[in-house]
Chain A
């Protein structure tokens, strides 16, 4: 009797304390994350004048997004994000797997190489972008090196050329984050039982064969994590473009992304006059939210099903 009363009084204390303990975190999180996000989704169905929300308009912001004159910008930016994603998958996550495998095969020095490879990832994309902008500029050090090696002549204009600028930005982003796949893949490889590799070696499999037919299938959870992270980061890409090519995605919008386009619509840097179009910005935000959530869910399911159990 007494113990039960004590228990229920403890329960009541705990309920009260729990609310007290949770409220500060919940209040900050709800006010500065959940509330603005929900309001943004809701607001994309309304007409806006400046920062004032007027009447409900259904899907008209969305239809405006896909037709002239915004349609061209939207498809351009979307294509750049898609190209960015595949570039990162190939160059960052593909090369990262190779480097991780090489480190896994070597007993010595792995920690040192991992630390070096990951170092750029703790730097701000602003610093990384600014550094590479200086190095790649006409008259910069890369130009000097290429000229010296006889690989290139004259002024280096890769960032000013609409055919090469996007590729350069993707490469800088990959340089920035190469350490991430290296760390995640090496951690994954170390969880695989060494007996599996030993058995394959006895069967005469070379190290390339072991990587493709044995390690890769067993690394599917890591591949899934990296693909999803790369997808989310790519479709949020803003900093590197802003610092290296300006908010317009120069030259002539060839490095424009969905978030730089969103920023221009929301904060007034689109077009020569620089007026904001909040309705269009929120519709773009909602579209991007849908792309990100549906894409992430599909990827998590896809890789969940492909995870090999041993």
Chain B
């Protein structure tokens, strides 16, 4: 007898949860089914499944709108920034967290202050700097800027993980005559794999999604990244909705795959300290 009112009392709560789930999934569902429809079919059949699962829109987006090139550019920039950020940040975090230098605190503070800095406001001077270095219209330029922006967060994460490793670990290796570089890359780094994955995940998301810096630094179509290309498509192919939906789907595919594989790590990473953004 008691169980029924309790179930009833929970109904509004379940309704709220299901409603927001629908609010998240319905737009994404519309996005997916619209990819396979022609513009006329999108108007006639809004929510239903497409008549056929033809890949015309994807082919058009990949070739006619040249999203393929943008996709490769984004992959290069993301991979480059993730690798560079991990290597230099792990190198910096190792002595800062495990040596007694006397200036660890100041240097760590200098890096950490960068987590909050609104770097977009420096974009005028950054533009001048990039122009003088010949890094406009350059994927290398983007890799360097993104690494610079992500280094503070990465150093913070690596230092936190390395600090708690037992000190016998590197002392024993040192006794055996291992050099400092070898201790870092062959002993310490394999012990902080969770830190590597946190840094890699959040750097990859931030870099893949960024729009502001390509907008400022990239003018040549050959070097545009996916978000920049998308922002142009939305206006340019306004009447060809199927193509725009397909290009949106292509551009979110890598993140979607990564999210499905790593949902738990991402949830825990965000919940424990808000690594996103």
A residues in contact (CB < 8 Å) with B: 10-11, 13-15, 17-18, 21-22, 24-26, 28-29, 31-37, 39-40, 43, 51, 95, 98-99, 102-103, 105-106, 111, 113-127, 130-135, 139, 141, 144-145, 175, 178-180, 183-184, 186-187, 225, 229, 232-233, 235-236, 238-239, 242-243, 259, 262, 266-267, 278, 281-282, 285-286, 288-289, 292-293, 296
Contact = CB atoms under 8 A, between A and B. Distances in A.
Contact of A33 (B96, B114, B231): B114
Contact of B251 (A13, A34, A127): A127
Interface string B91-133: 1101110011100000100110010111111111111110000
Interface stretch (B54-62, B64-72, B142-150): B142-150
- Listed residue (A32, A111, A117, A133) with the most chain B CB atoms within 10 angstroms of its CB: A32
Contact of A126 (B25, B126, B211): B211
B21 interface: yes
B88 interface: yes
Chain A interface mostly: helix
Contact of A99 (B20, B87, B111): B20
Contact of A28 (B148, B216, B226, B233): B148
B16 A33 contact: no
- A-B pairs, 3 with minimum CB distance: A187-B271, A124-B209, A32-B148
A233 B116 CA distance: 11
B231 A134 contact: no
A250 B212 CA distance: 19
A103 B17 contact: yes
A135 B27 contact: yes
B182 to A, nearest CB: 12
A225 B101 CA distance: 32
Contacts of A36: 119, 122-123, 125-126, 129
A262 B121 contact: yes
A175 B23 contact: yes
A289 B209 contact: no
Nearest to B183: A17
Nearest to A11: B100
Given A26-B92, A33-B148, A144-B46, A21 B184 contact: yes
B124 A225 contact: no
A191 B211 CA distance: 36
A39 B125 contact: yes
B136 interface: no
